[in-house]
Structure 1
Amino acid sequence: MLGKAPPAGSTHMLPRDVEGLTWSALEPDRAGELAALVSRIESADGTPVRTSADEVATYFAERGGMRAVAGDDSDGVMRAFGLVRPRIDESVSAFTASGGVDDALRLKGAGAALVDWQVSTARALVEASGQERGVIVVHVDETEQDLTALLHEHGFRPRRWYVQMRRSLAMEIPEIPLPQYVSVEPWNDELANQVRKAHARAFSDQPAGAMERDTEPWGANALAFAPQWSFVALDRSSDRAKVAGYIISSRYEQDWEGLGWTEGYTEAFGVLSKWRGQNVGRALLVAAMRAYAADGMEYAGLDVDVEIALDVDHPEPHSMMALYSSLDYVPTSRSALYVLTI
């Protein structure tokens, strides 16, 4: 049995019964309790990337079809949660699943009950949408071995792999020469639309899925967006400046304790094909490094999708790992995207 019928008056299917927990629909007025639970879970797991209370609040602010459940103990304390959130994908019904169980209540079946609920909930949403198929995706850090095993038991398989890298800002930051008429300039909100279009074009020659993002990494809705750490490469060889590349940075202060260092994080980075092989990518990375260092950060950090990444400073498809390694980035951890087709 994947899920049980909702109580009278509720539109939520609930997970199956688990000893010591009472399930209910998770409503926005409990966002603070959810944030506290997420913090306890991430601390227990030693997860390097942490979720802020503001991020948790956005789950409800942008809920558009989200399904959420909470499991409370006999004292009414939230001890488990599960979320199923729609993703942006025009071809299929796609959902991001996340959840967790307080350390004290693990190994009692709550995790399996939540995954069962997530699968059955997503399947019901696919059927309601009228689409023939759907997918559920779960992001898993390499330290989350129990979750990895649980996902395998439920038919999820790894689809994409990511390497987290960092570069010490105590090291010398090199000077990077640029072509004539190309310059790296500070972020300007007036360029946002041009950068958005450039972002789409820069990844148009990568395999399908390269732009799997729930939200844009810049703009008013991106809580961690750091415009002071973001830059645009402009080609001014004609009357109208053209975007040759861009680097979008974020400031995830809530992660620093778990990581053990402070960092400026590269959220999005791309160079259009016409300007590849001309040091534009290196110049953007170096500009961001200098900005991070000026604000007292210890490291520059980023994630690399090892399957689809193209070296933006190489005219042909080539691993981005080589580019980052040439600028002294080193791997720190790994994560994966697990997928189930429903």
Structure 2
Amino acid sequence: MSTIAERAAAPRTLPVPTAGGLTWRPWTREDAPALAELMHTIEQADGRDWFTSADEIDDLFGAPVFEPAADTLVGLDADGAMLAHARIERFPTDGVDLLRVFLSGGVHPTRRGEGIGTDLLAWATARARQALAASGTDARLAGLPARISAHIEDGDPAERRELLLAGGLEPVRYFANLRRDLSAPLPVVGLEPPLRLVPWSEALDDAARLARNDSFRDLWGSQPRTPEAWRAYRSAFAPEWSFLVVDDSVEYEGSDRERPGDETVPPGTPYVVGLHMAGRYEHDWESQGFRAGDTDLLGVRRAYRGRRIAAALLAHAMRRFADDGMEVAVLDVDTDNPTGAPALYAGLGYTKNDGSTMYAVEL
């Protein structure tokens, strides 16, 4: 098999966008509020009722693999107003069997149709290829497959799909956004000892990460989270709505129980076998028309599936959401999830609201 450096076919220089007569520069952390305003305008024009916040943009600057000078662009007019943006998102490579780069970007609705989006996609794809090719300098990574991807929401303009197709990306995976009305009767699902549901805590955070890595090991496209990646992007994290299931019969022995590359969890730490990590996106409540509790991550170790752990976690979370005045519970799911998650959610009263598609080029 050829190396990723060969397969990426990275250009030596990046194609600088010329359409629209804009001036281009990388993002800075100080740009977060203005970038959020631009993204809000773009997302609203696309018919979305949820938006990217300035805090979420600021999160990017604390991510473990983020070089804004190389991986971002913002386009400004003669008055300095931001009218277009693009970035690539890279991921840590410890313990992975797939190299990934994610593309995102957008153009202000008043400047569409000028070719700016086409130029931005060309730049982002070329930059992604450079980043992947650079991975080939590590002998552990040189032979791994790679994916360049982007997401399209079901309600996005058709032109966006056409743009990705023209750029060589094809639809490869479908996701559903699910909602559950919390005014309807809520289920009660218990656990039998030695399983026990406990609140999330800082002391159990790394044990939860390792449980997540085992839980998602057989899910399409998923890769293990490093400690740095696990703790990134937490501006919306809701610890009061996050819960874990531990097995009191297991004495944790450390990283030899986990995938290579994971750090040792201190002896005596409860063995986490299931996790529910939640988000609180208050900036979306007005536009959505309801107060929502978001399940950002739900997982159960493979050896513990079939014991109603996920159902117990979700049922408990829904009750906590409702107790805190939330009206709706929200989560996303891969429609081809092999663990039976879609059937679990349907059985607990979740229904599809909308969805998205991942477009990708495989290398």
TM-score w.r.t. the length of structure 2 is: 0.80
CA separation of 1:182 and 1:116: change in aligned 2, threshold 3 A: same
8 Å contact kept, 2:99–2:132: yes
CA distance in 1, matches of 2:37, 2:81: 10
User: Aligned to 2:74, which of 70, 74, 97?
Assistant: 70
Aligned to 1:104: 110
Quote the offset at 1:77 in angstroms: 0.9
CA separation of 1:291 and 1:201: change in aligned 2, threshold 3 A: same
Query: 2:239 matched to 1:227?
Result: yes
Q: Summarize the alignment of residues 1-342 of structure 1 with structure 2, pairs less than 5 Å apart.
A: 13=14, 15-62=16-63, 64-66=66-68, 67-89=71-93, 90-91=96-97, 93-130=99-136, 131=142, 134-144=146-156, 145-204=158-217, 206-211=218-223, 219=231, 221-237=233-249, 241-310=270-339, 319-341=340-362
- Secondary structure of the residue that 2:213 maps to in structure 1? helix
| Structure 1: gaps (5+ residues) | 1-10, 311-318
Quote the offset at 1:49 in angstroms: 3.1
**Amino acid of the structure 2 residue aligned with 1:71:** G
CA separation of 1:257 and 1:147: change in aligned 2, threshold 3 A: farther
Cα-to-partner distance string for 1:157-199 (whole Å, 9 max, x where unaligned):
1222110001111011122232233222222221112211111
- Secondary structure of the residue that 2:186 maps to in structure 1? coil
Cα-to-partner distance string for 1:261-293 (whole Å, 9 max, x where unaligned):
221111111122343222222111111001111
Quote the offset at 1:295 in angstroms: 1.0
- Secondary structure of the residue that 2:307 maps to in structure 1? coil
**Amino acid of the structure 1 residue aligned with 2:280:** R
CA distance in 2, matches of 1:324, 1:243: 22
Quote the offset at 1:91 in angstroms: 4.4
8 Å contact kept, 1:198–1:245: yes
CA distance in 1, matches of 2:24, 2:15: 7
8 Å contact kept, 2:276–2:313: yes
Aligned to 1:7: none
CA separation of 1:307 and 1:341: change in aligned 2, threshold 3 A: same
Greater RCO (Cα-Cα under 8 Å, separation 6 or more): 2
CA distance in 1, matches of 2:289, 2:205: 33
Q: Bigger CA drift: 324-333 or 74-83? A: 74-83
**Amino acid of the structure 2 residue aligned with 1:139:** H
| Structure 2: gaps (5+ residues) | 1-11, 137-141, 252-267
8 Å contact kept, 1:218–1:248: no
Cα-to-partner distance string for 1:220-256 (whole Å, 9 max, x where unaligned):
7511111110111123346775323121111112232
8 Å contact kept, 1:14–1:25: no
Give the number of aligned pairs: 323
**Amino acid of the structure 2 residue aligned with 1:320:** A
**Amino acid of the structure 2 residue aligned with 1:248:** M
Quote the offset at 1:337 in angstroms: 1.5
CA distance in 2, matches of 1:263, 1:289: 10
TM-score w.r.t. the length of structure 1 is: 0.85
Quote the offset at 1:124 in angstroms: 2.7
Quote the offset at 1:219 in angstroms: 4.3
8 Å contact kept, 1:65–1:86: no
8 Å contact kept, 1:72–1:78: yes
CA separation of 1:193 and 1:76: change in aligned 2, threshold 3 A: closer
Quote the offset at 1:24 in angstroms: 2.9
Aligned to 1:314: none
8 Å contact kept, 2:43–2:51: yes
CA distance in 2, matches of 1:39, 1:333: 19
CA RMSD after TM alignment: 2.6
Between the aligned residues of both structures, percent identity stands at 34
CA distance in 2, matches of 1:168, 1:57: 32
**Amino acid of the structure 1 residue aligned with 2:34:** E
8 Å contact kept, 2:152–2:359: yes
Cα-to-partner distance string for 1:306-334 (whole Å, 9 max, x where unaligned):
12341xxxxxxxx2111111111010001
8 Å contact kept, 2:60–2:66: no
- Secondary structure of the residue that 2:79 maps to in structure 1? coil
**Amino acid of the structure 2 residue aligned with 1:65:** E
Cα-to-partner distance string for 1:99-125 (whole Å, 9 max, x where unaligned):
110010011111111111111222233
CA distance in 1, matches of 2:306, 2:277: 20
CA separation of 1:139 and 1:184: change in aligned 2, threshold 3 A: same
